Amino acid sequence: MFDWKFFLLHIFRLSPAYGAALLMTIGLAIVGQILGIIIGGLVCMGRLSRSRIFRWAAAIYTWFFRGVPELVLMVILFTGVAAAGLLRFDDFMIGSFVVSASLQAAIVAIGLREGAYMGEIIRNGLQSVSKGQVEAARALGMSPIKVMWRITIPQAMRVIVPPFGNDFNVMLKVTSLASVIGVPELFLTTQTFSAQNFRVFELFIGLAINYLLLTTAWSIIQSLIEARLRRHESTAGRTTFLRTVQAHLIGTGATDAGSA
Amino acid sequence: MTSSDAIVVAATGVHKWFGSLHVLKGIDLSVSRGEVVCIVGPSGSGKSTFLRTINHLESINSGSILVNGDTVGYASTGDKPVAKRESRIAHSRRDIGMVFQQFNLFWHMTLLDNVSVGPRTVLGLSKNEAQDRAAELLNKVGLSEKMTSYPQSLSGGQQQRGAIARALAMEPKLMLFDEPTSALDPDMSREVVSVVEKLANDGMTMIIVSHEMSFVRRAATRIVMMNGGVVTEELRNVRVADLSKANEISAYLNATL
């Protein structure tokens, strides 16, 4: 029988442990994503490099980290690598916060995998910028750096943000895998709690709702970013926040872009 | 009458290969200040390629091209041109404006930003100075009410006029036009031709690659015919010259009517 009293109490009363777990999940996703973007940038440079060695290295990196499951990666990094005596993560402190070995392994595993995907996303975005735009910028006398900063990157963002947004959405959920190596994020905390009071169904429905809230919040943010990036397409005047979000999340039913 | 510093473009013996395809087979061209040179010829004659070697959007394999006495893309004028670094080439391109067949306005910026981004980021003008200059130029080409519009909402003719304003914002000494009206219908072409005509009357040195007869009739001071990678005929003093004396040119132009 579904214990409604327990369920609603759990949903609306945020226990400290649960609050910490929520922050851990969000923090893990953000830090992992940032690491992924940095590694992705390097991988992209490798893919587009003139040097054969770099191109091969980037290709192999991408193939490997897109081919191995995240879960396996985490376990290998945390236990496997230490067992082989190659590398052992040690706890260290930032202020009063302990960055445990398991957390480090989780961040590295997430970052390495995300780097492979971001590398492709960034490369695709950069290559989508039409040659004519770049030529016009060069003809004006812009140096290569200025061309990249003023023209290439802003235009590439338009193509990079949607798949990046989807990736971050996945990222928020991939954090749950860190539970197997003992990182106290939402899933592990919920699991531990349910072992204490046996309210498995209620607690995990609550957990699902929690993830839904996180991913929905991100979807809204993503749609706002996309709306801003696509403002050159709109012929209408300013629209309300709600209408913008609705247009990007649900669509407007129009097939052309000039109605957002 | 023509002192060396009145020669804006001096191209000698320009050869270019695309792989094994010999597209430019020894082009010599000298353009003086204030001249409006129209380069005509069939597709594949190399005229667009040659135009693009002038501001080094295309490299050359041998020969030399001097713009205002400066080698835009090369560190030496010796036998084999050695390309400069892109950032140095960029510096030389400030004095050369280019207008493209596909307009190439930056679609992520408003028209005002398109015209002011060059002066602001390359010439170092302040935002206000750059915008003032942009506003003035957009007024000159008749696009004042479209300043805050994005390129997507402009017609082809408006985009091309905007592109001309963008090139002019750099205060170039030479303007290059690569088939500027080929993507436009007759009405829009007319808008662009009148802007170019105004520029010609203001004394801008221009090289126009085009099929457009109006450029020839209303702006050109010289017509150069290219075919198969070489210059086959030239007609100077077009305004007063007798077109029928230039056999190839008149045959080509009459055929394109």
- Give the domains, in start order, of chain B with CATH numbers: 34-48+84-256 (3.40.50.300)
> Which chain B residues touch A140 with a CB distance below 8 Å?
93-94, 117-118, 122, 166-167, 170
Half-sphere exposure of B51 (CA within 13 A, CB side): 28
State the pLDDT at residue B255: 64
- Return d(Cα B17, Cα B19) in angstroms, integer: 6
- In one letter, which amino acid is B168? L
**B116, B117, B121: best mutation site toward chain A, by most A Cβ within 10 Å?**
B121
Do B121 and A150 count as a contact with CB atoms less than 8 A apart? yes
From B108, B117, B166, residue closest to A155, measured CB to CB? B108
pLDDT on residue B241 = 60
pLDDT at res. B2: 47
The mean-pLDDT minimum among A24-38, A41-55, B78-92, B216-230 falls in: B78-92
Residue A248 lies in a domain: no
Q: What are phi and psi of B104, to 5 degrees?
A: 60, 35
pLDDT on residue B75 = 66
Residue A255, domain member (yes or no): no
pLDDT tier at A18 (50, 70, 90 boundaries)?
confident
CB distance from A139 to chain B under 8 Å? yes
Given a contact cutoff of 8 angstroms between Cβ atoms, the answer to whether B55 and B16 are in contact is no
Q: Which of B59, B64, B55 has its CA nearest to residue B26?
A: B64
The C-alpha torsion from A135 through A136 and A141 to A147, rounded to 10°, is -70
Partners of A158 on chain B (C-beta within 8 Å) are: 108
pLDDT, average across residues A21-38: 94
Domain residues for the domain of A90 are 16-200
CB contact under 8 A, B57 and A139: yes
Please state the domain count of chain A: 1
CA distance B60 to chain A (A): 17
User: Would an 8 Å CB–CB cutoff place A233 in contact with chain B?
Assistant: yes
The answer to whether residue A208 sits within a structural domain is no
Classify residue A212: in a domain, yes or no.
no
Cβ pair B65, B89 in contact under 8 A: no
* B86 vs A: CB within 8 A: yes
Q: Residues B161, B164, B165, CA angle at the centre, nearest 5°?
A: 90
Partner residue facing A138 (CB), from B57, B102, B105: B57
Cα dist. B61→A139, B78, B80, B209 in Å? 20, 12, 7, 22
Q: Cβ-count burial of B243 within 10 angstroms (0-12 exposed, 13-18 middle, 19+ buried)? A: middle
Cβ atoms of B246 and B233 closer than 8 Å: yes
In a domain, A209, yes or no: no
CB-closest option in A150, A158, A235 to B153: A235
Nearest chain A residue to B152 by CA: give it.
A233
Degrees to nearest 5, angle at CA B243 with B234 and B209: 50
Q: What is the residue whose two structure tokens read 């004519």?
A: A132
Measured in degrees and rounded to the nearest 5, phi and psi for residue A138 equal: -65, -40
Instruction: Look at residue A258 in the predicted model and tell me its pLDDT.
Output: 46
Which neighbouring-strand residues pair with B17? Answer: B22
Q: Is the dihedral of CA A62, A67, A68, A71 positive or negative?
A: positive
Q: How far is A180 from chain B (nearest CA, A)?
A: 45
Q: Cα–Cα distance between A251 and A239 in angstroms, integer? A: 14
Average pLDDT over residues A200-217: 90
> Greater confidence, A3 or A260?
A3
Residue A137 belongs to domain with CATH number = 1.10.3720.10
Show the low-confidence residues of chain B (pLDDT under 70): 1-5, 75-81, 239-246, 254-257
> Is B120 near chain A, with CB under 8 Å?
no
Model confidence pLDDT, tens digit, residues A227-260: 888 877 765 555 666 777 777 777 777 665 544 4
Residue pointed to by tokens 């016009």? A136
User: Chain centroid to CA A145: how far?
Assistant: 27
Residue B158: closest CA among B113, B213, B119, B103 = B103
In chain B, the DSSP E strands lie at: 7-18, 21-32, 36-40, 62-67, 70-71, 96-99, 174-178, 205-209, 222-227, 230-236
Query: DSSP state, B254?
Result: H
For A50-61, b/e burial (b = at least 16 CB within 10 A) is: eeeebeebbeeb
| CA nearest to A156, candidates A122, A133, A119 | A122
A114-158 pLDDT, tens digit each:
999 999 999 999 999 999 999 999 999 999 999 999 999 999 999
- B104 closest CB neighbour out of A136, A144, A232: A136
- pLDDT 10s digits, A99-119: 888 888 899 999 999 999 999
Residues 6+ apart with CB under 8 A from A228: none
Evaluate whether ipTM surpasses 0.85.
yes
